[in-house]
């Protein structure tokens, strides 16, 4: 299957700082990538849909000015958590949409654990 | 997307079959049933999907009832590494944003 990577896998930062998380599709081009967030003992919740070359679409309740998404190339989307606070501590997971040969599937990255002190 | 209902947790002895049920009574005619699993602190992993017919692959089997209102994921010989949260999702395509729901936490015991 297609491979999606995330970097970093784990990050600890101080309250008030910004953190950037990268999501890359390693062996395919993805015009659409998704960002999910998962709090402890809860399910994945969609934050936003990222389309290459256009603005991301955010789910209700997700602050677009706090969670900046950039999808500048067909293999890279970034999520920047600005002015992070302890309540932003979570597991952030990206996925990339693979469309080729009649297939339309979604492949997930390994996730990034963010801890804000 | 149609919503799904799964038991919150299940246990299974190692080597036995694990049968995970899912109700999706409001599924529409063109929606597929997808199963993913998430091992602790990892990204979700695709398992299998189906529309109407039963499906089997190297990981699992998917049994969908004739009225398509429910399905069962079968892990034929569960191992300790199958301990994970299993999500049943209905969607037009898996390339769309997915509604994961709460899933079933499967514990495989020695």
Q: pLDDT tens-digit profile of A24-58?
A: 999 999 989 999 999 998 999 999 999 988 889 99
Task: Please tell me the predicted confidence (pLDDT) of residue B105.
Answer: 97
| Residue pairs between chains A and B whose CB atoms are closer than 8 Å | 50
Q: What percent of chain A has pLDDT over 90?
A: 83
* Confidence grade of residue B64 (pLDDT, cut at 50, 70, 90): very high
Across the interface, do A44 and B102 touch by the CB < 8 Å criterion? Answer: no
Across the interface, do A43 and B102 touch by the CB < 8 Å criterion? Answer: yes
Instruction: Encode pLDDT of A99-114 as tens digits.
Output: 888 888 889 999 999 9
Instruction: Encode pLDDT of A54-96 as tens digits.
Output: 889 999 999 999 999 999 899 999 999 999 999 999 999 999 9
The phi, psi pair for B85, rounded to 5°, reads -95, 130
CB count in 10 Å sphere of residue B105: 18
The helix (run of H) or strand (run of E) holding residue A36 is: strand A32-38
Task: Please tell me the predicted confidence (pLDDT) of residue B1.
Answer: 57
| B residues 42-101 closer than 8 Å to A (CB) | 42-46, 87, 93-101
């Amino acid at each position: 299957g297609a491979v999606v990577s995330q970097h970093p896998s784990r990050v600890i930062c101080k309250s008030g700082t910004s953190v950037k998380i990268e999501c890359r599709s390693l062996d395919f081009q993805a015009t659409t990538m998704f960002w999910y967030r998962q709090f402890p003992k809860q399910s994945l919740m969609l934050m936003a849909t990222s389309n290459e070359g256009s603005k991301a679409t955010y789910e209700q309740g997700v602050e677009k000015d706090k969670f900046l998404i950039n999808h500048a190339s067909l293999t890279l989307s970034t999520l920047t958590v600005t002015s992070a606070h302890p309540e932003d501590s979570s597991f952030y997971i990206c996925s990339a949409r693979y469309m080729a040969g009649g297939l339309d599937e979604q492949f997930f990255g390994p996730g990034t654990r963010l801890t804000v002190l | 997307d149609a919503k799904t209902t799964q038991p919150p947790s299940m246990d299974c002895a190692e080597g036995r079959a694990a049968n995970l049920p899912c109700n999706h009574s409001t599924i529409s005619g063109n929606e597929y049933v997808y199963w993913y699993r998430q091992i602790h602190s990892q990204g979700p992993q695709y398992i299998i999907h189906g529309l109407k017919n039963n499906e089997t692959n190297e990981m699992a089997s998917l049994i969908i009832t004739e009225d398509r209102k429910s399905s069962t994921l079968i892990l034929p010989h569960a191992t300790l590494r199958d301990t994970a949260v299993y999500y049943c999702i209905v969607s037009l395509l898996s390339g769309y944003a997915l509604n994961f729901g709460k899933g079933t936490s499967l514990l495989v015991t020695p």
